[in-house]
Amino acid sequence: MNTQFSFLPSRSPGAVSRRHFVTGSMAAAATLVLANSALGQTTASANRQGAIRLGLVGCGGRGSLIGSLFKEHGGFELFAVADYFQTVADSVGDALGVDKSRRFSGLSGYQRVIDAGVEVVALENIPAFMPAQAAAAVKAGCHVYMAKPVAADVPGCLQIEAAAKLAGEKKQCFFVDYQIPTDPVNIEIVKRVQEGGVGKIAQLATTGLCSGFSDPPKTANLESRLQKLIWVNDIALGCDYIGNFDIHAVDAALWVMGQRPVAAAGSSQVARPNAHGDGHGVCSVIYDYADGAVHNHFGLGLPDKTQGTLDCHVYGTTANAVISYWGKAFLLGGPGEYSGQVENLYHDGIVRNIATFYKNVTDGRSENPTVRRAVDSALTCILGREAASRRIRLTMDDLIKENKRLEVDLTGLKA
């Protein structure tokens, strides 16, 4: 797919039948990210001869960046690529030196990448499609590196959970790429918070502000929506704004808390002008946790109205802290005050994650610690999305019990 997964603001074979393609120890894991990336590929290379054959699925803006950073790492050979649009697959293939015989398109392109003999599949794709693709990759014996959100609905999240469990049993690596938990300043702040640096956590406040995504009129089928982040506006494809952009801040809250919320309530609306998708770009959600902590989330995606913000404020009984994607992060008050600048996280976080993933693959480490919170973060965003759009209080247990599948109409699309 032409899936430009760069959610940063401006600064920085035949037709397929319809409705058949839908779709933990985290603090320690985060610390390992830095340690492993410091070791880099030099240490890991001693355990393996030759580059790892990589298949890239999704060659849009973020996919092309991921492909280039995997190649720059040096431990991977970009062996095959797939995108719904052949022109996009060819463009990345030309830029990154992939043989023309291993550039695939259409909805089934991911399977052709797997069948080409890759060892790793990197999924930089539309969330609705990734659970089935991840499951196929694991079944074929491939390691998986994937973007967030891992799915657009509850069944997709559960499919990712099952695929990762199978990967672990088969001694395969399954890695979800979040950048905030790789930053050294954020890691130190979360460590201090979890050691009691703010006292008992009373409240969290997460914010996701962006300038929105292009939402042109719909055409005869979904093909026009499968590019240039247009799909973010379609809930069944992209998990809504809260699940695509805001999820970084929500994930930071789960990182701090070490648990997912038990319920949510709120409201939301489609506020962008001339909207054509059903995504709610404006939301306000209150999450409840089992220990009594309250979590307020504010999301806003409106054209040219906001600068990018992704952060998590933690308010404790003795101090407060901020975990951030951009700018300053800090712990203020009490004996453990600390602050620092979060720099170039979008790029550097991916580089660190690729280094960690490489080491996990070459060292045979299949504990896959990034998966649990990635699934919980997606479920938390889906919980907030559903509670806010229905304007009710909804529990996580009831959300999972509903197991509501979001159907995607693929009529007329290229297989």
Q: What is the pLDDT of residues 28-65, one digit of tens each?
A: 444 444 444 433 333 333 345 689 999 999 999 999 99
Q: What is the pLDDT of residues 123-135, one digit of tens each?
A: 999 999 999 999 9
Q: pLDDT higher for 206 or 39?
A: 206
The pLDDT of residue 414 is 97
- Tell me the average pLDDT across 392-413: 98
DSSP state of 289: -
The pLDDT of residue 303 is 85
Q: What is the band of 334 on the pLDDT scale with cuts at 50, 70, 90?
A: confident
The pLDDT of residue 305 is 61
Give SS3 for 76: strand
Contacts of residue 340, defined as CB under 8 A and 6 or more positions apart, other chains included, come to 184, 185, 188, 328, 329, 330
Q: What is the pLDDT of residues 79-99, one digit of tens each?
A: 999 999 999 999 999 999 999
Q: In this structure, which amino acid lies at residue 80? A: A
Q: What are phi and psi of 122, to 5 degrees?
A: -100, 120
Q: Is cis: bond before 149, omega within 30 of 0?
A: yes
- Tokens representing 369 are 């610690």
- Tell me the average pLDDT across 372-396: 98
The pLDDT of residue 50 is 85
Domains of the chain from N-terminus onward: 26-180+363-370 (3.40.50.720), 184-343+374-402 (3.30.360.10)
Q: How far apart are CA 368 and CA 385, in angstroms?
A: 27
Q: How far apart are CA 39 and CA 27, in angstroms?
A: 19
The pLDDT of residue 49 is 64
Q: What are phi and psi of 204, to 5 degrees?
A: -125, 150
Are 37 and 182 in contact, with CB atoms under 8 Å apart? yes
- Tokens representing 364 are 């045979």
Q: What is the band of 306 on the pLDDT scale with cuts at 50, 70, 90?
A: low
Q: In this structure, which amino acid lies at residue 326? A: W
Q: How far apart are CA 326 and CA 180, in angstroms?
A: 9
Instruction: For residue 379, give the nearest of 394, 399, 398, 393 by alpha carbon.
Output: 399
For helices 154-169 and 130-139, the axis angle rounded to 10 degrees is: 20
The pLDDT of residue 33 is 43
- Tokens representing 254 are 């789960």
- Tokens representing 87 are 């022109």
Are 1 and 226 in contact, with CB atoms under 8 Å apart? yes
How many Cβ atoms from other residues are within 10 Å of residue 255's Cβ? Answer: 24
- Tell me the average pLDDT across 13-34: 37
Mean pLDDT over all residues of the chain?
Answer: 90
Q: Which residues of 166-192 are buried (b: 16+ CB within 10 A; e: fewer)?
A: ebbeeebbbbbbbbbbbbbbbbbbbbb
Q: Which residues of 270-290 are buried (b: 16+ CB within 10 A; e: fewer)?
A: bebeeebbebbbbbbbbbbbe
